[in-house]
C-alpha cells in the first residue's frame, strides 16, 4: 500500500464524528468571516501581525474549505492537518503572549482545537464520512 492510500483511508469508528462536527462548526464560519470582508481582514492582519495578503488567504481557505471537508468527512486527515498548522501559527504569532487562561483570546482555545484535529489526523473521518465511502 502506498503512503497516500494509507493517508486517505479511515478507521472504522464513530469516534471521529463529534470532533469533525465541532471543528466544522468552528472553522466554516471563521473562514467565511475572513472571506466576506477579505480586504479589510488582510489589511488588519498585515498591520497587526505582519501577515501578507496571501498568508491571510491561505488561512481563510484552510479554515473555510477545511471545515467543509471535515463536515463531509472528505480528505479528513489532510483537512485536520491544515487546521493544526493554522492553529499552531496562530498560537505562535498571535496568542502566545496572551497566556493560557482558557478563554477565546488565549492559546488554550487553540490547543483544544488542535487536540480535536490531532485525533482526526490519526483515525480519519470514521464510519459516517466520504472518506469511508470513497477510500475504504
Domain contains 85: yes
- What is the distance between the alpha carbons of residues 84 and 119, in angstroms, rounded to a whole number? 11
Closest CA to 21 of 121, 108, 116: 116
5 found inside a domain: no
The string of pLDDT tens digits covering residues 105-131 is: 778 888 999 999 999 999 999 999 999
Q: Flag whether 117 is in a domain.
A: yes
- Please report the DSSP string for 11-65 in residue order: -S-STTHHHHHHHHHHHHHHHHHHHHTHHHHHHHHHHHH---HHHHHHHHHHHHH
First-to-final CA distance of the chain = 12
Q: Domain containing 99: what range?
A: 12-135
Residue 2 lies inside a defined structural domain of this protein: no
Is position 107 within any domain?
yes
136 residues of the chain, pLDDT tens digit each: 576 667 788 888 999 999 999 999 999 999 999 999 999 989 998 998 889 999 999 999 999 999 999 999 999 999 999 999 999 998 898 877 777 776 667 788 889 999 999 999 999 999 999 999 998 7
**CA-atom Rg of the chain in angstroms:** 15
pLDDT at 87: 94
Q: How many domains does the chain have?
A: 1
Amino acid at each position: 500500500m502506498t503512503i497516500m492510500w494509507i493517508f486517505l483511508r479511515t478507521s472504522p469508528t464513530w469516534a471521529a464524528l463529534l470532533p469533525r462536527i465541532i471543528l466544522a462548526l468552528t472553522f466554516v464560519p471563521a473562514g467565511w468571516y475572513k472571506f466576506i470582508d477579505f480586504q479589510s481582514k488582510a489589511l488588519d492582519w498585515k498591520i497587526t501581525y505582519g501577515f501578507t495578503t496571501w498568508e491571510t488567504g491561505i488561512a481563510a481557505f484552510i479554515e473555510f474549505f477545511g471545515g467543509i471537508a471535515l463536515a463531509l468527512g472528505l480528505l479528513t486527515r489532510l483537512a485536520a492537518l491544515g487546521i493544526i498548522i493554522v492553529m499552531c501559527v496562530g498560537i505562535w504569532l498571535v496568542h502566545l503572549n496572551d497566556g493560557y487562561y482558557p478563554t477565546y483570546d488565549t492559546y488554550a482555545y487553540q490547543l483544544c482545537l488542535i487536540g480535536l484535529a490531532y485525533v482526526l489526523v490519526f483515525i480519519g473521518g470514521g464510519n459516517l464520512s466520504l472518506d469511508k465511502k470513497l477510500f475504504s
